[in-house]
A and B are shown apart, each in its own frame.
Chain A
Amino acid sequence: MNATVLSSTTAPAARPARRCRWCDTLDAWLPKLVVAPTFVCSLVFVYGYILWTAVLSLTPSRLLPNYEFAGLAQYEALFDNERWWQALSNLAVFGGGFIVICLAVGLLLAVLLDQKIRAEGFIRSIYLYPMALSFIVTGTAWKWILNPEFGIEKLMHDWGFANFTFDWLIDPEWSIYTVIVAAVWQSSGFVMALFLAGLRGIDDSIIKAAQVDGASMPTIYRRIIIPSLRPVFFSSFMILAHIAVKSFDLVMALTNGGPGFSSDLPATFMYSFAFTRNQIGLGAASAMMMLMIVVAVIVPFMYSEMRRSRHG
């Protein structure tokens, strides 16, 4: 509004120069202006709320937030809580199993697909398809597949293998492994796509040179191709690790944390304490611990990768 008023009153001769200067300032400011809303949003809605959660974890908040200072009492209560330790050990089992198996399966599929086979595009979409489903759908489908009453176990019984048992879903010792099965099914196709892209990016001439030198195919894979996929391993690990730590919907749909609380993960623990048990302070403390886990795992890894790439 002001700009139009100004331009209509100023002399026409002065216009081009003025306009251009205005353009320059705009050019300088435009990128900042465009990024500003995103920047402000992430500042407030990510870092602001992390800070708020940190504050809440130091208060005795129960039903509603309360800002008295309680020191580390919530953290002490958290580390006295058996269910929290169960959730942590489940996270270790689930995170470890999920990441390792996903990387292994993804790499294997990618290598097999990379053999210049027929109908590759078709097969690739089949493997990628689980990615299109939400974890809720995956969880519900696997809940039915793994249920001994009408899933795999019943199928085997119907086929005449009467002694076949596959009851991980209802066994407190094994329930967490069913979560790994479902999560690997969902994510390994995605990891495969990452590896496939990595494989396609490898310079053909290196491989040809190795072949000329008389290296066998397994040696080429072991000594040349897989080591050169290092950045892909790194980014897959980052993606899988954060999926593992924040895993919530899959557990909710598949086992609902059960039997008992045997397949609880930190995220489901946090939800149930903060929102159903009126212990917001304790929930906030567990959320902060989850953040610490992510930081503890990812920061050293990232740091070493960054250094490596800087030094070439």
Chain B
Amino acid sequence: MKTLIKTLHAALLSTSLLAAAGAQAADVEVLHWWTAGGEARSVAELKKMLEAKGHKWKDFAVAGGGGENAMTVLKSRVVSGNPPTAAQIKGPSIQEWGAEGVLANMNDVAKAGNWDGLLPPVVANVMKYKGNYVAVPVNVHRVNWMWANPEVFKKAGVAIPKTWDEFPAAAEKLQKAGFIPVAHGGQPWQDFTVFESVVMGVGGPAFYKKALVDLDQASLKSPTMIKALETLQMVRKYIDKDAANRDWNLATAMVINGKAAMQFMGDWAKGEFSAAGKKPGKDYVCLPAPGTANGFTFNIDSLVMFTQKSADAKKGQQDLATAVMSPEFQEVFNLNKGSIPARQGMDLAKFDDCAKQSAADFTASAKSGGLVPSIAHQMAVPAATAGAIQDVVTQFFNSHTMTPKAAADKLALAAKVR
């Protein structure tokens, strides 16, 4: 009996010791879906930085491209009162999570790190819930890019179009020369991506903001929107008929191997070009989509911080936020991912020309007011509204009968979905 008690005692002691040891080194658990090649390397970098500060990194990767699986897991974790340290959430969803009252206030870290000075106000606002920082940005993707194969344009004897007015003539010549003018994948989000670049190109950034960010009813039904939809109809003529349900990277491959002339896609497409050993400026060019040189539709990934119970966990969370905003992490992460740092005023010597132009345009458009959130990538309006608008866009894009006027009316109706 005595021995039993003794062993029990010992066991209890050792477990409590273990528990104490566990509490000292805070676990930093980050839910993300950066699981593919370059992205996974970027996360490994973050892990190294936190382990250098004595925290234990607990990887919580849930694969599945758009993060739908990850969100389902996250919801169950939060509902059960055991949220991870941080999770990869972006755009207006941050506000939706904020409204649930589960996010941590990061103002102290932000103040110490001068985030207000380092982030453009448009971006900082996305990271705040009711004026308090609750998230930290990791990168900036530009969505309104056009990726063109200059060789194809040379063979067809035509210049790369700079505006939507020049576009039909150029596309016509490309088609005559036997090329597919526009590489596209007929998936709703890709239709939506082209749509937002067209709206910005036709109406300008101010109109884009009014119609697709502020969801102004008059703008959505205005002649400008109808003209944008007519332009979209025109672009559709220059897409090959087999585009349905094609993945975006296959469309990019068509530009890479010279089958197609151009693609409208965010700067993650650059990874495909680099992987194929192509050089920017020589084998491919990156240009703002026609008519959008003074605009910048951004798609920013961010890590949202959840309220932690213990002081150690809080410390780990603050170190995580500081590490993510550090120039070292922002550089290495974005070099791997093809995007640009969210932090301003960094040395971009290691980045390629496309990234440099993106960074210059980012700063310039932040000043001119041309910096707007991308609606197609869930940055501009809540998921329900963006989904309803996407339904209309993709329906119009695939319909042979719907008129631009009818589509504009439907857009206005969809914008009322909350």
Q: Which A residues contact B (CB, under 8 angstroms)?
A: 62-65, 77, 82-83, 143, 147-149, 167, 169-170, 172, 255-256, 258-262, 272-273, 275-279
Please report which residues of chain B, range 369-418, place their CB below 8 angstroms from some CB of chain A when the two chains form the complex: 382-384, 386-387, 391, 394-395, 397-399, 417
Per-residue A-contact encoding for B184-210, CB less than 8 Å = 1, 0 else: 001110010000000000000000000
A147, A149, A262, A277 interface centre (most CB from chain B within 10 Å): A277
B93 and A278 contacting across the interface, CB-CB below 8 Å: yes
Give 6 pairs: A residue, B residue, CB < 8 Å, sorted on A: A63-B75, A170-B244, A255-B244, A260-B188, A262-B398, A276-B66
Q: Is B96 an interface residue (CB 8 A)?
A: yes
A279 and B384 contacting across the interface, CB-CB below 8 Å: yes
Residue in B93, B100, B188, B395 whose CB lies within 8 Å of A64 = B100
A255 to B100, CA, bound (A): 35
> Which DSSP category, helix, strand, loop or mixed, fits chain B's interface?
helix
Q: How many A-B residue pairs have CB under 8 A?
A: 83
Q: Which B residues contact A (CB, under 8 angstroms)?
A: 66, 68, 71-72, 75, 78-79, 93, 96-97, 100, 186-188, 191, 241-245, 382-384, 386-387, 391, 394-395, 397-399, 417
Distance in Å from the Cβ of B171 to the closest Cβ of chain A?
A: 20
Please name all residues of chain A whose beta carbon is closer than 8 Å to the beta carbon of B93 when the two chains form the complex.
Answer: 63, 278
Residue in B96, B398, B417 whose CB lies within 8 Å of A172 = B398
A169 to B383, CA, bound (A): 28
Residue in A65, A77, A149, A260 whose CB lies within 8 Å of B395 = A260
Q: Beyond the given A147-B242, A258-B398, please list 15 additional residue pairs across the A-B interface where CB-CB is below 8 A.
A: A62-B96, A62-B384, A64-B79, A65-B79, A148-B241, A169-B244, A170-B241, A170-B243, A172-B398, A256-B245, A258-B245, A259-B186, A259-B394, A260-B399, A272-B387
Q: Which residue of B lies closest to A171 (CB)?
A: B244
A161 to B25, CA, bound (A): 71
Distance in Å from the Cβ of A18 to the closest Cβ of chain B?
A: 34
Given the interface pairs A63-B97, A64-B75, A278-B96, the reply to whether A259 lies near B245 with Cβ below 8 Å is yes
Q: Which residue of B lies closest to A275 (CB)?
A: B68
Distance in Å from the Cβ of A54 to the closest Cβ of chain B?
A: 19
B242 and A260 contacting across the interface, CB-CB below 8 Å: no
Given the interface pairs A277-B383, A278-B96, the reply to whether A258 lies near B186 with Cβ below 8 Å is yes
A259 to B191, CA, bound (A): 10
A255 to B398, CA, bound (A): 14
